[in-house]
Structure 1
Amino acid sequence: MRKWKRVDTAEGPRFRSELESHEAALLHNMIDSVLEMLDGRQAQSPADELEAITGIRTGPSAPPADDTLARLLPDFYRADATGATEMPDGIGPADFNGALRSVHEPAIIDAKREAATRMRDTCPRDGGRLELTEADAQAWIAAVNDIRLALGTILGVGAGGPDLLPVDHPLAGHLDVYHWLTALQEYLVLGLMGKRA
């Protein structure tokens, strides 16, 4: 992939780049995997008879069992470094997280699905030139971030960044993809900020 080029037009900024066919296929594959995970999680939402009346959807109250999905949909509240919690009497962190999750997770999944779908729709399936609007670019940044989070979980990427892997390691190619996604996202962010990469 080439670096992003920002072009200011009368309709607003446009962000142009070009993808090789294998890069486009890889992006589509990863987007579809993230969408599949989110769809599976959404299918676990409890049936709510009041949804038709109130318009309020509820999601599962328990966190995802899958580590990758749990990274995409983390808990809302965590204890501080000492393990101390400041919760109302009788309410523990799990109860608090469960209540927040059941109320907010459906909207979070919707936003992630919308970004991923918009990225998939604006990414040429066979590669080639692409031009994004500012809204498209924002969706790409969000969707690439989710792809990186999912891939980073599989690779065991910590807060300090990804570890180096030996060339013959079975996940070495995945780490290369992680680095490529990081560069793709960084250059697009810089383009949105109007800075040169």
Structure 2
Amino acid sequence: MRTWKREGRGRSRQIRAVFEPHEAELLHSMVTSLVELLGERESSAPPADELAALTGIRTGHRDAPGDVTLGRLLPDFHRPDQERELAADVVNGDLNAGLRSVNEPIIIDAKLAAAKVVLDSVPAGGGPVVLTDEAAEQWLTALNDVRLALGAMLGITEDTPAELPPDHPHAAHLDVYHWLTYMQDSLVAVVMSS
């Protein structure tokens, strides 16, 4: 993939890029893994409680994911260091549990919808990808999620070097992380351009 480019004007405006076969395969594989991870979280949610059945509001897990990757994709809404006025036990307990239970299904739905747009638009053997502005927004969501997941799995921090020695077990994964960052930055630049 060289870079994203905007073509056309008005309603005929499109955002385009060309993916090499190995890039398309890698992106498809990573987004599919993300879908599976989120699907497992969604399917393991407890059954609807009485209030959910009565109101029609779908509910999900009350507890944060134990998995580091899912924890990065579905973080708590409040942390004790965000609001000093709230006691840590309130923030970590009832407030986060309630917010998570009501909002996590909606967040997972949005992430899965974004992933579907990517999977539907990446040609299996590589080739051109043509996006509307709306599809580009979905791509940005999915790319960000894939980057977050990979970054969490690799333990990427501000101190992570830009490159690892070629024999390091995570060297290739870090290269993929940088490729995803480049792809996301390039798409953001095009989406933000007038």
Map Cα deviations across residues 98-132 of structure 1 (whole Å, 9 max, x no partner): 11100110000000000011111011111011111
Distance in 2, matches of 1:119 and 1:73, equals: 20
Map Cα deviations across residues 72-110 of structure 1 (whole Å, 9 max, x no partner): 0001001228xx742279734222111110011000000
Unmatched tracts of structure 2, length 5 or more: none
Query: 1:14 corresponds to which residue?
Result: 14
Alignment partner of 2:13: what SS? strand
Q: 89-98 or 57-66: which moved more?
A: 89-98
2:80/2:87 contact within 8 Å kept: no
Unmatched tracts of structure 1, length 5 or more: none
Distance in 2, matches of 1:19 and 1:121, equals: 14
- When normalised by structure 2's length, the TM-score is 0.92
Query: 2:3 corresponds to which residue?
Result: 3
Backbone CA RMSD of aligned residues: 2.0
- How many residues get paired? 192
> Which AA in structure 2 matches 1:189?
V
Distance in 1, matches of 2:106 and 2:93, equals: 20
Query: 2:67 corresponds to which residue?
Result: 66
Task: Give the C-alpha shift of residue 167 in structure 1.
Answer: 1.2
1:1-197 residue pairs with structure 2 within 5 A? 1-48=1-48, 50=50, 51=52, 53-80=54-81, 85-87=84-86, 91-158=90-157, 160=158, 162-163=160-161, 164-194=163-193
Alignment partner of 1:91: what SS? helix
Distance 1:192 1:92, change over 3 A: closer
Map Cα deviations across residues 39-63 of structure 1 (whole Å, 9 max, x no partner): 0000121111554552201111010
- When normalised by structure 1's length, the TM-score is 0.90
Give structure 1 regions of 4+ aligned residues with deviation exceeding 6 angstroms.
Answer: none
Map Cα deviations across residues 131-167 of structure 1 (whole Å, 9 max, x no partner): 1111111111100000000000111111x26423211
